[in-house]
């Protein structure tokens, strides 16, 4: 569905405590979460505003977000 919030907190509510702990203790992880959330916001805004972006560019944004999500998830479950 267009415009859904896929922020890290919304995607992994069961890992809230781990997420907060890792963000505080691991700068690289915090940067990955920040980048993921920024991409999610950008995608959501483009979807809601019907902004001019070609399908390939949107696909790349969503791909980049998915790659980061996988990295973040692997780190969350290994903590």
Percent above pLDDT 90 for the chain: 81
Percent above pLDDT 70 for the chain: 96
C-alpha pair distances (Å), 38 with each of 5, 33, 41, 77, 79: 11, 8, 5, 22, 24
45/34 Cα distance (integer angstroms): 16
56/10 Cα distance (integer angstroms): 26
54/36 Cα distance (integer angstroms): 21
- Rounded to the nearest integer, the mean pLDDT of the chain is 93
Q: Mean pLDDT, to the nearest integer, of 28-47?
A: 96
Residue 50 per-residue DSSP state: T
Q: pTM here?
A: 0.90
pLDDT bin (cut points 50, 70, 90) of residue 13 is very high
């Amino acid at each position: 569905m267009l415009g859904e919030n896929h922020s890290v907190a919304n995607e992994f509510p069961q890992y809230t405590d781990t997420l907060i702990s890792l963000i505080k203790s691991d700068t690289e992880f915090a940067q990955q979460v920040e980048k993921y959330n920024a991409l999610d916001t950008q995608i959501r805004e483009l979807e809601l505003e019907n902004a001019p972006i070609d399908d390939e560019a949107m696909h790349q944004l969503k791909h980049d977000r998915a790659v980061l999500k996988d990295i973040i998830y692997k780190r969350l479950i290994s903590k």
